[in-house]
Structure 1
Amino acid sequence: MYLGIDIGTSSIKVILMTAEQDVLASATAPLEVMRPQPGWSEQDPNAWIAALGGAMDILKRERPAEVAAVKGIGLSGQMHGATLVAKDGAPIRPSILWNDGRSAEEARRLDADPRFHEITGNLVFPGFTAPKLAWVKTHEPDNFAATAKVLLPKDFVRLYLTADAATDMSDASGTSWLDVGKRAWSPELLAATDMDESRMPKLYEGSQATGTLRPALARLWGMAGEVVVAAGGGDNAAAACGVGVTHPGAAFVSLGTSGVVFAATEAFAPNVESAVHAFCHALPNTWHQMGVILSAAGSLEWLSRLLKEPVPDLIGHLGNTPDYPAPVLFLPYLSGERTPHNDAAARGVFIGLAQESDRATLTQAVLEGVAFALADCQAALAAAGTTIPRYLAVGGGSRSKTWLTIMASALNTPIGIPEEGDYGAAFGAARLGLLAAEGGDPAEILTHPPLADTIDPVPALSEAYRDSYERWRALYPAVRDVMR
């Protein structure tokens, strides 16, 4: 048996997987995001430990014999979170999360240093880890001085599980400290933020073992024998392992809280000008490209809270396929934006509101706005030399065929829907746990799931969306200065 643990933004999820890769059980526990100031986003690292304990209690109660047989654990998690720990391993302050925009000025300063582009192959985004440490050094110098290690969220959980300070290449790629082509920490970039390798976790490939579960935890959870803990991956790389997107030509589109267009590549292929993320994958000698938007399903959840109506009911007002684009346009920049704008100050916008605009109009505008933002990501990957013939759909938003029809039509690309099952980041983490514990050929283990359906673009809608997309793209430059 193998466990996959995913430390998300809104919850922790743990799945229990057999050697045949059947998911026997899963458990989740909620997490809260703290927003002490506008544009800030934090979590208490100890809340991740408490949530993991709650999820494990559920699995142990429901499947005690299977939990006892666990031989490998894989980890996945939200990326970029700056988790500062003291010498005793205790968190110094709340973790500064991926969608926190406070370090925009520090990011601009680091991004102006050409070494960051040359060595990482990426822009320095405000959500990345290095500018957050630069912010802490300026605004919280005592916390900076007390920091013994900077860990990413899943790696703080690893520290609890194994007492090892370690991370994987895919998650490390999002720090702005990794030489992504060489798959090694860059002493030069660390020094640029007054850091050094002694304060960084040890690097591993995602399918490698970083240590073993502490005996006290093994006893607590009723596990017998040695339990290997894999390096795992950042949430998107782990999700790619879950759906077999690990070789060139394979891609997925994710509709989680954030949105992602993800394509595996056979080599490190940066293109800084297009604001594409060029990262290491969770497997050796493999890389990937991503376009990332910060509010995908998060935009729909925001509208649901605003209108006080559940998300499925909002989408239900639209029917299966829109006949034509919404007359209202929506920029989904509720938490700023990454690809292609790299603008932490960007904010959401509705335009075209009229007396007849109702909740169905606003819902369709939100779904289309997210689809157009992901079309921006697709265009950015194309500028970086990556053409995507088809996608797999992942994330909570992918359960809506209406949204996927809008998405396929806006992207003008077919989208495959995996058969009913759990193929997300936690599943990918469990697969990496299996590889770390047992070895084996990743090509034979990290396979594509069978498809339940394929959503093809609707030709008339794709044609109509071309005009809507061009008008939508004109919005950001038109309102950018007003947002400041």
Structure 2
Amino acid sequence: MTCNANMAPTGDCCGEWNDKTYLGFDFSTQQLKAVVINENLEVKHEVTVHFDSELPEFRTHGGVQKVDNITVTAPSIMWVKAVDLVMEKLKVTGLDLSTVAAVSGAGQQHGSIYWRKGAQKILKNLHPDKFLHEQLQSCFSVRDSPIWMDGSTTTQCLALEEALGGAQRLAELTGSRAYERFTGNQIAKLFETKPESYKNTERVSLVSSFAASLFLGDYAAIDFSDGSGMNLLDIRRKDWADECLNACAPDLREKLGKPVPSYTVLGNISPYYVERYGFNEECKVVGFTGDNPASLAGMNLKEGDVVVSLGTSDTLFLWLKEARPDLEGHILCNPVEKDDYMALLCFKNGSLTRERIRNECADGSWELFSELLESTPRGNFGNIGMYFDLIEIIPTVYGDHRFNKNGEEVSRFSKEVEVRALIEGQFLAKRVHSENLGFSVGPGSRVLATGGASENSAILQVLADIFSTSVYVQDVSNSSALGSAFRAKHGFLGGDSTKFADVINPVTNWTLAATPSPDAAEIYNPMVERYKRLEEKVIAKHSSMKN
């Protein structure tokens, strides 16, 4: 008897399987989160593992290890051990894991994991009486994985753009010009600086496909959506671009495997989870994707909506019917509709920068931070700030830059002005660069906010004022894990043969959080133009320093 994914399996087919649930994971920068939903898409369980506090042996700060200002990594085995912990936590919630019909997940984009030769055999033969991290400790040819915060591959980026005939042609082909954090350039750096490690690599995974591999018990394919954040995938043909592969490293197509649609059922869950945790042996593993595409899946978007994700990195994205790549921002394959795309702008300096200013100005208290923010008027007396703890993506500058109402750079602000300058500056940047890509917010549009800072009402009010439109939030702040659970159900129900919109149609968990002040447009429209000019001034300053 063969299981029909649209029907609940019976005892004759796959064992008892009543009240199906769907499990979504989010392997983000600072934590691993799991969300369980039922057939009605209601969240039934949530558990989290914080890397810094719960895995202190890896000595990460903010989930990462900073070698210097431009080299940032995370221990590959840390993510494996986090899976061990999150599975134990799921058991404690009382969840009957035999009800899980499908799992999917998301990973921080662009990060790369290098499986050493022989690792696949170990993955396929996991022993249920041992933790994953005990068995996979020696499976990596590179111990520490370069992640999205890394900016050490400028040389490789320049070489890739030159090999492809320029930045614009590379963008037209892959959706983005060459970026330091993009995986192809990280692979090229490894090949050039550690050729033996590259030679000993059997498979290169993204964080997403790496995570899927842990549940599949085999190497999992890279999906189209996350794969289009590598500078390697032809976003229109949906296959690796050979001229990009050849420009980065030899034998790369073999090491990457064949990419697949994001909703692909990769196979059944590894016997390890069946025997150790009681999963049904017919539980499906649906392709994992990037955290930003998964967030898009977790939101019921409509035309004209702009999504602002406020996390370790801040991102802005929307759904597109056509791909029109440019030198600024990114075009990725859509994670739920094979012929559509999504646009994405990413800003490295997100929550960690907000936390730094909170610590410096508000004694580490978000409550005091919000009070300081609300104590200053919209427009901040004409003061504008730009704060970059790491070399930013757009623009590629570093450091703190403060300007008074006359456009003169100053060395410091008062605490309350500093706080508002930070928040206004971050959102002015998002509006400026989204408009450069052709984004526009018109009548009926919404800003949909997610991520940790979306829980702060004072911050959301600034967002509403600067974009001059209403801001909505979700009941579940972690849209990436929720989107992964939605995608697990979508894949289980047939993927391409089932419209994703039909799967999540019941979802109505957007709540109005902030409306723009009556004078918002009058204040901030001129500030947008001022910000553009001041940003050009900062870029020019950094260019002169380089020369």
Query: What TM-score comes out, normalization by structure 2 length?
Result: 0.81
Specify which of 248, 259, 281 is matched with residue 334 of structure 2.
281
Moved more, 70-79 or 28-37: 28-37
Secondary structure of the corresponding residue to residue 519 of structure 2: helix
Contact 2:355 2:364 in 1 (8 A): no
Q: Does 1:43 align with 2:99?
A: no
Shift of 1:105: 2.2
Q: Which residue of 1 aligns with 2:186?
A: 132
1:257-289 alpha-carbon deviations (Å, 9 max, x no partner): 11122110112x22323x121110112222111
- In structure 2, list runs of 5 or more residues that go unmatched: 1-20, 52-62, 120-138
Alignment deviations for residues 22-41 of structure 1 (CA, whole Å, 9 cap, x no partner): 11111111222101122211
Aligned residues between the structures? 475
Of 91, 94, 101, which aligns to 2:140?
91
Moved more, 252-261 or 455-464: 455-464
Indicate yes or no: 2:257 matched with 1:201: yes
Instruction: Say whether the 8 Å CA contact 1:265–1:286 is kept in structure 2.
Output: yes
Q: Does 1:256 align with 2:305?
A: no
Q: Once structures 1 and 2 are overlaid, which stretch shifts more, 303-312 or 77-86?
A: 303-312
Judge conservation of contact 2:156–2:188 (CA < 8 Å) in 1: yes
Alignment of 1:150-229 (within 5 A): 150-162=204-216, 163-195=218-250, 196-229=252-285
- Counterpart of 1:109 in structure 2: which amino acid? A
Q: How far off its partner does 1:399 sit?
A: 1.2
Identity of aligned residues (%): 22
Match of 1:34, as an amino acid? Q
User: Do the aligned residues in 2 keep the contact of 1:243 with 1:423 (CA within 8 Å)?
Assistant: no
Q: 1:347 aligns with which of 365, 377, 399?
A: 399
Question: What CA distance in whole angstroms lies between the structure 2 residues aligned with 1:322 and 1:446?
Answer: 40
1:387-406 maps to which residues of 2 (within 5 A)?
A: 389-406=445-462
Task: Tell me the equivalent position of 2:364.
Answer: 309
Matches of 2:339 and 2:70 in 1, distance apart?
36
* Amino acid aligned to 1:463: E
Match of 1:81 in 2: 111
Distance 1:387 1:40, change over 3 A: farther
Deviation at 1:175, TM superposition (A): 0.4
Q: In structure 1, which of residues 39, 64, 69 is the aligned counterpart of residue 99 of structure 2?
A: 69
Write the deviation string for residues 66-113 of structure 1: whole angstroms up to 9, x where unpaired.
x22111001111000122221223222211000110012221222233
Contact 2:107 2:211 in 1 (8 A): no
The code of the aligned residue for 1:441 comes to K
Q: Is the Cα–Cα contact under 8 Å of residues 73 and 430 in structure 1 kept in the other structure? A: yes
Shift of 1:454: 5.0
Q: Aligned AA for 1:99?
A: M
The answer to whether residue 34 in structure 2 is matched with residue 7 in structure 1 is no
Q: Secondary structure at the match of 1:318?
A: helix
Question: Which of 243, 259, 266 is the matching residue for 2:321?
Answer: 266
8 A contact 1:405–1:456 mirrored in 2: yes
Please state whether the residue corresponding to 1:364 is helix, strand or coil: helix
Q: Is the 8 A contact 2:423 2:459 kept in 1?
A: yes
* Whole-angstrom CA distance in 1 between matches of 2:341 and 2:499: 18
Aligned to 1:449: 508
Residue 443 of structure 1 aligns to a residue whose secondary structure is helix
Q: Which amino acid aligns with 1:95?
A: S
- The equivalent of 2:463 in structure 1 is 407
Q: Quick one: distance in 2 between partners of 1:367 and 1:140?
A: 41
Q: Distance in 2 between matches of 1:318 and 1:214?
A: 50
Normalising by structure 1, report the TM-score: 0.91
- Cα distance, 1:326 vs structure 2: 5.1
Deviations 1:402-423, CA, capped at 9 Å, x for gaps: 21221122122332223x2355
Distance 1:123 1:356, change over 3 A: closer
Per-residue deviation at 1:476?
A: 3.1
Q: CA deviation at 1:350?
A: 3.1
1:136 Cα deviation after fit: 1.5
Contact 1:325 1:465 (8 Å CA) reproduced: no
- Residues 324 and 380 of structure 1: is their aligned pair in 2 closer, same or farther, counting only changes over 3 Å? closer
- Once the two structures are TM-superposed, the CA of residue 152 in structure 1 deviates from its matched residue by 0.7
Task: Tell me, yes or no, if the aligned pair for 1:164 and 1:210 is still in contact at 8 Å.
Answer: no
